[in-house]
Amino acid sequence: MMNTGNNNKILLSLLVLLLLTNVGMLWYFTREEKIEAKPVTRTERMAAMVQRELGLTDEQKQQYIALRLKRDSLLAPLNADLRAAKIEMINLLKQDGVPDSMVQAVAAKIAAKQVPIEMEFYKHFIRVKAMCQPQQYGPLDSLLNRMVRRNTGDTTVPSSN
């Protein structure tokens, strides 16, 4: 049988625990909410990286963002067409006995849809270069080479020219 003193200590401990829990919950639910930074878009992250890599001014950074948004809007319908052509090829897998000539035709269609996308990227980089100062051309060339190497799976380190 437990004596009354032990029961009182246990009850007092539980009471203190409940009181602390309530104070903690009261603090948690009534504290001022932290202002969360708005999520940074991919365009903003890329602009910050390009600014850092090329030493762009804030004005150039804003120009870069505008150029990138223009490029994205121009690429959207081209990417939709490319996606549709690639889905057409995937749908060939659902059929038995698809002749190689049909696969080749769809592959050629995909390749033809890729050309305007590559041309738009090229034009975009021409516009980016036009926005740069001559001393920024070297870092831009280096950045573009690294991007191409990374996007094509080349893990070798380029030699410096």
What pLDDT score does 37 carry?
A: 67
What pLDDT score does 35 carry?
A: 67
Q: Which domain holds residue 113?
A: 42-151
Q: Are residues 49 and 26 in the same domain?
A: no
Instruction: Please list, in sequence order, all residues whose beta carbon lies within 8 angstroms of the beta carbon of residue 8, skipping any fewer than 6 positions away.
Output: none
The single-letter DSSP state of residue 4 is H
Determine contact, residues 89/107, Cβ cutoff 8 Å. Answer: yes
Joined together, the tokens standing for residue 124 give 């975009």
pTM: 0.69
Q: Are residues 54 and 124 in the same domain?
A: yes
Determine contact, residues 149/158, Cβ cutoff 8 Å. Answer: yes
Q: Are residues 52 and 10 in the same domain?
A: no
Element (H, E) at 96: none
Is residue 159 domain-resident?
no
| Amino acid, res. 147 | M
Is residue 156 domain-resident?
no
Q: Along the chain (161 residues), what's the average pLDDT of each consecutive run of 10 residues? A: 73 90 88 71 91 95 96 96 97 94 97 97 97 96 93 74 50
Q: Are residues 76 and 91 in the same domain?
A: yes
d(CA 136, CA 21): 59
- Distances in Å between the Cα of 113 and the Cα atoms of 17, 45, 119, 147 are 68, 28, 11, 22
What is the count of structural domains for the chain?
A: 2
What pLDDT score does 154 carry?
A: 84
Q: Are residues 54 and 103 in the same domain?
A: yes
What pLDDT score does 27 carry?
A: 86
What pLDDT score does 55 carry?
A: 95
